[in-house]
Structure 1
Amino acid sequence: MELQALYEDEYLIAIHKPAGLLVHRTYLARKERWFAMQLVRDMVGTHVYPVHRLDRPTSGVLLFAKSSEIAHQLNLQFQAHTIEKDYLAICRGYVTETEELDYPLKEELDAIADVHADPDKPAQEAVTWYKPLQTVELPIPCGRYDTSRFSLVQMRPLTGRKHQLRRHMKHLFHPIIGDTSHGDGRQNRVFRDHLECQRLMLIAKRLAFVHPVTGEKMVVETELEAEWLTLFERFGWSTQDYGFDAGWTELTGSASLPSAGSM
């Protein structure tokens, strides 16, 4: 398996992680052959350090450091909420407003890895900024409705809780299409049976950070994959640049926002 490098210098490498690829080896996937960390290590010929997460079904920009010191410097930026991560998602229904959702989330515990964790731990602060970009109504019945409605949404997590974007969109009754854990099975079947799409429609489109050595403001953005482009064409959606890099910390319709986190 080959990965696409989006940016590389002597300190960092950013790649496009395909949907379905794990970031690193885990006990839950002992039989898996490929992992992003292993593939990137083989690409650059040295050990690499992932500095953030992308869930297995999520695709998009994934950043690695080439030393533990650089990884530490980037981790400090994540902790200070100065790294921006912008996602695109296709969600159920019409999302009509640009909003900031502040909805605390209880930690999702793994039955094996978190066996000793406190199940009664209070919910943690979780904040997501989101903005609707495009909508479509398809003549495909779903449940008690004669048609199916979907929205293209830009999202920026301002905190970094596990599955934050997926859980927040579920809370808003606009679950992300293809989400088998927090999504809508009927809507997922519409995409599977009528649109031949079975993946989670969530992509980490853009990552912005300060280079830990040069101090330069870095913006790394990836292209939409074939599944996205096929759907955009069918829906009549534009593939225009949505202005992710405009103003560094400013987005149309929003005040300046710090950000960090994962999906």
Structure 2
Amino acid sequence: MWRRAMVKAGRPPQDPARQLARAHQILDAAAELILRWGYDKTTVDDVATQADVAKGTIYLHWKTRDALFAALLRRERVLMLEEVRAAAPGTLREVLRGLAGALLRRPLMRALLLGDNEVLGRLGRQKRESVTTPVLTSAFETYLGALAELGVVRADRTPAEQLVVVSSVLYGFLVTQGLLPESARVPDDRLPELIADTADRALSADPPANGVAADAVPGGSAGRADAVAGATRVYLDTVEDVARRKLALSLGVEESAT
């Protein structure tokens, strides 16, 4: 999955595949400890012990504790996007359902979105934007703009306004779950569909053509569906590329390992 190499400034890479595997071994250990004890109680010594490496080895990869855990959150975001792409969504509704489901299956991402200080502590306050950037920011606005031109989302709102709607629906459902007594909560496996349905209904054009006739799109209705699927692929390509680049910076990645 991780076909990239670690490159340290000032010296040539030595067995980059092994260095990369070790970096992910350390991140695996960090993730387990944060979920068990919380960020504020997890030390570099703890991570080194859990990962079965020397403390100094961790500092060969990251100069600070915060840099280590920032890399962990960036990796979580990439894994979340990989999961969404694996389902090959072709519509806005499918994208929203996939993002919500992948987020719910990643405890660190969920904690980050909800500002769970027991899990992420100071790191959550510093890095909260990581859960949405770039998933629900400028790339998503561009995606919504493309869908508006195709007549499948409302044109009476700006993409920025539509983004606020999506963010509010996602955040609102998750926060409400925590406020309700357990007996009144919706099962987690139902939440993605409820989130996607609510947001899609709020964003979608009514009537669907939104003033853009099907025959105005090359290929008619089928052409519109193909164009929507194409815009969806572009969006997912863009956000995953940005997420991978940010992760690469956190890992010191420069080239693919063979």
Q: TM-score, normalised by structure 1?
A: 0.27
Higher relative contact order (CA 8 A, sep 6+): 2
Q: Which has the larger radius of gyration?
A: 2
Q: TM-score, normalised by structure 2?
A: 0.27
Q: Which has the higher strand share?
A: 1
